[in-house]
Amino acid sequence: MRSARTASQRLTSLLLWALPLAFLAVFYVYPLAAVIGQAFRMPPGDGGQHIWAVVWKPLRFTVLQASLSTLLTLLVGMPAAAVMARFKFPGKRLLRVLTTLPFILPTVVVAAGFNALLGPRGWVNLALMGLFNLTDPPVQFLNSLGAILLAHVFYNTTIVLRVVGSEWSRLDTRLADSARTLGATPWRVLCKVTLPLLKQPILAATALVFLFNFTSFGVILLLGGAGFATLEVEIATRALNLLDFRSAAVLSLVQLLCTLMITLGYQRVGRGRVISLTPRISGENDRKPVTWMERLWVGVVVLVVVILLVTPLVALAARSVTKLEPDRGERGGFTPRITLAYYQELFTNRRQSIFYVPPIQAVANSFLIASIVVVISLVLGFITAYRLQSGGWARRAFDVLVMLPMGTSAVTLGLGFILVFGRVIMTLGIGFWLVPLAHSLVAYPFVVRTLQPAVAAIPPRLKQAASVLGASPWQVWYRVELPILKRAAMVSAIFAFTISMGEFGATTFLARPEYPTLPVAIYRFISQPGALNYGQAMAMSTILLMVCAASIALLERLEQGEA
C-alpha cells in the first residue's frame, strides 16, 4: 500500500514537471530554434554582404534611440526620484499611482495618447490653429525622433522612480547631514555621498530602461513612421510585408544576442546592494519642503512629471468624447463638441466585411483571450512555483528556462510561431488558440515570480499538521495553502490579464484579420484616414486605458490588504 502511494506520488511529481517543460519546449524552445535555424540558411553565393546591409541600419538606429531615450529618462527620473523619496507634499500618494500607470499601459494606448495631445488632430495643434488662425497644424510631432524619445521617457520614468526612488527613500539621512556639518555644499553631498550609495540601483535602472527601449516595437511603429525602423520594426516589416523570413530571422538572432548581453549586464549590476549603514523604512525620512528653493524645486519637478505622464492620458480620454465640427465662418477652423458617437460606432461594421468586424468585437476578443491567458498562466505558474521549491541543479536550470521568455522579444516569438505553426494559423479553429498561448508565454514568467515567494513562505508545519489530521494532499492544498496564496494568485491574475490585454508585438503576427484583439484594432483604425476612424481608435484606447487603470487600483488595494 505504501509503495503504491509512493509510486503514485512519483508519477504525479513527474507529470507536474512535464506540463510546464512541455509548454516551454513546444511554444518557446521550438519556435526559437526555428528562428535560429532560419537565420543560418545562407543562399548559395551570399557571402554575408546582403545580411550586413539588412542588419546595420536598423541596429544602428536601435542603439541610438535606446541610448538617447535612456539618457533623457534619467534626466527626468532622477530629480523626480529625489523629490518622491525625500519630500512630503499634497497629492503625493495619487501621483505615485499615476506614475505607475504609464509602465503598465500598452504601447498603442501611449501612441494614441500622444497623438491626441500633439498629433495633427491633437489638442495642442487645435489650440494653436484656433489662436493664430492657421489652416495647417504647426506642430509636426508624429513620424519624428522626438516623438519616439518622448514616448519612451513617458514609459520608463516609472522604472527610475521605483528602482532608484525606493532605495533613496531608505538611505540614512544622517550620512548627508554629517557631510553638510563638515562644510560640504549640497552639490558635493549629492556627488560624494548620495550618488555613490545609489550606484547599484542607478546602474540597474539604466540597464533595465535601455533594455525596454532597445526592444521597443509599438512606439516606433505608431509614432516613428516609415523613416525610423528599429530591429523590431524591421523584423515585422520583413516577415509580414516582404515575406523575407530569412532576413527577419537574422535580425531576430542579432536582437536575441543583444538582449542577452543587456540582460546579463542587468543581472550583474543588479546583484550589488546599496551600501547604507543604517537603512530606514520607506517614507520615514519624508519631510515637507521648508525653504522657498525647496518649494520651487518640488513644484517644478511635480509639474514636469504631471505634464509628461498625465497630460497625454487626459488628452486621450477627452479626445474620445470630442467631435470636431468645421466652422462656417471664414476662419475655417474647428469647434469641439462633446459626443459619445465614437463609442456608439464601436458597435457598427460600416464596411460590412468579415475582415473589418465591429470594434466592439475586438474588445470581446481581447477579454476572452485575456481570460484564457489567466487560466493557462495561473495553472502553469502554480505548478512551476511548487517545482522551484526543490533544490539541486535541475531546479536552477528550470528557473533559468522559465525566465528566458521575459528577455525575448515578443516580435521574435511571433516570428517563431509563424515559422513553426504557419500552416496551423491558416486553420480557423486552431489558429485562434496561438494568440492566448503566445500571451501566456509572455505572462508566465511574471506569474511565477509573483507566486514563488508566496509558496516559499508557507510554514511547513501547517501542511504537516493538516496531513497528521488525515487531510489528503489535495485537501491540504485547497484548505490550507490556497487561502494563504489567494492574494498572490489575485495579483498574478491581474498581471496576466493586463499583459494579455495590451500585448501587441506577437499578436501582430498571429491575430487573424477577422479576429483582431483590441491593440491590433486600435492600430488599424489609427492608421487609416478619416475623423471617424481616428475617433474610434481614441475610444478603444480609452477603454484599454480604463482596464489598465482598474488593474493598478486593484493592485494598490491588494498591497494595502484591502482586498
Question: Over the stretch 232-276, which tens digit does the pLDDT of each residue have?
Answer: 889 988 888 888 888 888 899 888 888 888 877 776 765 554 444
Asked whether the predicted pLDDT for residue 1 surpasses 60, the reply is no
Angle at 44 between CA 42 and CA 46, to 5 degrees: 65
**Mean pLDDT to the nearest integer, 138-160:** 90
Q: What's the average model confidence in pLDDT over 422-429? A: 62
pLDDT at 327: 66
The residue to which cell 522626438 is assigned = 146
Same domain, 271 and 363: no
Are residues 164 and 305 located together in one domain of the fold? Answer: yes
The torsion region of residue 486 among left (phi > 0), alpha (psi -120 to 50) and beta comes to: alpha
Q: Which of 339, 370, 388 is the endpoint of a domain? A: 339
Helix, strand, or coil (residue 242):
coil
- Pair 563, 460 in one domain: yes
Distances (CA, A) of 55 to 58, 229, 246, 254: 6, 11, 12, 8
Q: What integer pLDDT is reported at residue 269 of this predicted model?
A: 67
Q: For residue 361, give its domain range.
A: 1-40+349-563
The verdict on residue 519 lying in a domain is yes
* DSSP state letters, 148-195: HHHHHHHHHHHHHHHHHHHHHHHS-HHHHHHHHHTT--HHHHIIIIIH
For the chain, give the number of residues. 563
Which of 316, 339, 362 is the endpoint of a domain? 339
Angle at 302 between CA 300 and CA 304, to 5 degrees: 70
User: Are 544 and 462 contained in the same domain?
Assistant: yes
Output the domain CATH number for residue 431: 1.10.3720.10
Burial 113-134 (b: 16+ CB within 10 A, else e): bbbbbbbebbbbbbeebeeeee
Indicate whether 85 belongs to any domain: yes
Interatomic CA distance for residues 377 and 307, integer angstroms: 36
Closest to 262 measured CA to CA, from 216, 198, 319: 216
Q: Quote the cell numbers at residue 537.
A: 481608435
Please, what is the average pLDDT of the chain? 82
Domain shared by 385 and 254, yes or no: no
pLDDT for res 276: 44
pLDDT of residue 25: 92
Indicate whether 312 and 279 sit together in one domain: yes
Shared-domain flag, residues 362 and 443: yes
Range with the largest mean pLDDT of 250-259, 348-357, 374-383: 374-383
Residue 467 pLDDT class (50, 70, 90 cuts)? confident
CA dist., res. 356 & res. 515, Å (int): 9
Q: Is the separation of the CB atoms in 502 and 548 below 8 Å?
A: yes
Spatial separation of the C-alpha atoms in residues 42 and 50, rounded to whole Å: 10
Q: What is the mean pLDDT of residues 69-92?
A: 89
Rg, C-alpha atoms of the chain: 26
Q: Is residue 557 part of a domain?
A: yes
Q: 94-104 pLDDT, tens per residue?
A: 888 778 778 78
Q: What 8-state DSSP symbol labels residue 290?
A: -
Pick from 1-10, 153-162, 342-351, 508-517 the range whose average pLDDT is largest.
153-162
Please tell me whether residues 194 and 173 are part of one structural domain.
Answer: yes
Q: pTM for this one?
A: 0.84
Do 366 and 312 fall into the same domain?
no
The alpha helices in 237-358, defined as continuous H runs, are 245-270, 292-309, 311-320, 341-344
Is 282's pLDDT higher than 50?
no
Choose among 195, 197, 196, 216: nearest CA to 67. 216
18 & 124 share domain: no
Q: Quick check: helix, strand or coil at residue 353?
A: strand
Residue that is written with C-alpha cell 474620445 in the block:
320
Which pLDDT score is estimated for 277? 44
204, part of any domain: yes
Q: DSSP letters along 315-339, please?
A: HHHHHHTEEEEE-SSSS--EEEEE-
Q: Which residues contact 355 (CB under 8 A, 6 or more apart)?
A: 513, 514
pLDDT at residue number 356: 63
36 lies in the same domain as 56: no
Q: Are residues 317 and 423 in the same domain?
A: no
Judged by average pLDDT, the poorest of 111-125, 245-259, 393-407, 510-524 is 393-407
Going by C-beta distance under 8 Å and a sequence separation of 6 or more, which residues neighbour residue 161? Answer: 77, 80, 81, 84, 99
Residue 403 in grid coordinates? 525566465
The dihedrals phi and psi of 336, each to the nearest 5 degrees, come to -75, 140
Half-sphere exposure of 535 (CA within 13 A, CB side): 19
Percent of the chain topping pLDDT 70: 87
Query: 81 or 389, which is more confident?
Result: 81
Is 344 part of a structural domain of the chain?
no
Do 283 and 221 form a contact (C-beta atoms < 8 A)? no
Start-to-end Cα distance in the chain: 44
Distance from C-alpha of 235 to C-alpha of 134, rounded to nearest angstrom: 40
pLDDT at 525 over 80: yes
- Candidate from 49-58, 216-225, 540-549 with smallest mean pLDDT: 49-58
Q: How far is 252 from 232, CA to CA, in rounded Å? A: 8
Given a cut of 60, whether residue 447 has pLDDT beyond it is yes
> For the chain, how many structural domains are there in total?
2
Residue with the bigger pLDDT between 94 and 14: it is 94
Within-domain flag for 449: yes
